Amino acid sequence: MQATVPADQVSADVRRALEEDVGSGDLTAALVPASQRAVATIICRESAIVCGRPWVDEVLRQVAPGARATWHITDGQRTTPGAKVVEIEGSARELLTAERVCLNFMQTLSAVATKTAAYVDAVRGTRAAILDTRKTIPGLRIAEKYAVRCGGGKNHRMGLYDAILIKENHIAAAGGLTAAFRAAQALKAQVQFIQVEVETLSQLQEALDAGVEMVLLDNMPLETIREAVRMAGGRCSLEISGGVSFETLRPYAETGVDRISVGGLIKDIKAVDFSMRFSDKPVER
């Protein structure tokens, strides 16, 4: 898996999570003798794309620096029900404290990666790439967008600072589509891309006439999207957003659009079932 994530961001995510969960100290773990050693095994209870290793490793670095982790399934790989994902040997107290935060990252990020992989598989053989959106959990955007990449998807803009997406409210406030696009062109050298959202074919024609290179087709019916692809004729890249379900995904992809952005990859997920089991036996090496 080639997806990467900034180490300082992972560290910050974990620090916030530990402050929330551990606070001034783990009162229950303190009941275990300080000298007690244990082996903790994280098990996945269902078929899923695993994601979250950098966060688990960082939890261990911050909470259990002497622990040794042996990964059997890593990010971007599919696991089967009951599979051992990682075995961790270390202080029983420290592993008990680390348990819930490790599992929280794993269950959430694996859910995003798993759902993304299903969408990517559904459009395989078409030209359409599956992208995420900015509909993320506050504070976990970089982590969740990493999970999308682990599932085979691609990231849209990270935030409002790295690309321009001119939406309906921008168009209304700026005095029209062409006016908004012309203003955006002055910033072209500073951003990854400039994209314009259109809701009608007449707006699409205006965007084409203005020289827009990336167009977002917002909540258009299937037949209208087919006509939009014909109108564009390859003069710009076309992206679909809104109104796409998993059941309708393939027909939309087969229209010939380049990209399909899906907010549900992140905001509508079901956590993957992970658990951690302890033993006092050493890890076999």
* Contact assessment for residue 128 and residue 260, using Cβ atoms and an 8 Å cutoff: yes
Chain centre to alpha carbon of residue 80:
21
Q: Is 115 a residue of the active site?
A: no
Q: What are phi and psi of 87, to 5 degrees?
A: -115, 135
Query: Among the options 87, 132, 197, 258, which is catalytic?
Result: 197
Tokens encoding 193: 């891309």
Q: Indicate which residue of 134, 135, 250, 267 is catalytic.
A: 135
Q: Is 135 a catalytic residue?
A: yes
Judge contact between 257 and 225, C-beta under 8 A.
Answer: yes
End-to-end CA distance of the chain: 24
Strands 274-279 and 78-79 turn out to be: unpaired
Distance CA 146, CA 52 (A): 9
Instruction: List the catalytic residue out of 100, 134, 154, 267.
Output: 100
100 has catalytic annotation: yes
Q: For residue 195, give the 3-state DSSP assignment.
A: strand
- Which residue out of 21, 46, 199, 218 is catalytically annotated? 218
Cβ atoms of 224 and 201 within 8 Å: the answer is yes
Among 37, 134, 167, 267, the one annotated catalytic: 167
Amino acid identity, residue 279? Answer: S
Kindly give the interhelix angle for 177-185 and 201-210, rounded to the nearest 10 degrees: 30
Nearest to 107 by CA among 12, 17, 5, 7: 17
- Residue 213 among the catalytic residues: no
Rounded-to-integer distance, Cα 194 and Cα 255, Å: 23
Q: E strands of 76-154, at which residues?
A: 78-79, 83-91, 129-131
- Give the residue numbers marked as catalytic: 100, 135, 167, 197, 218
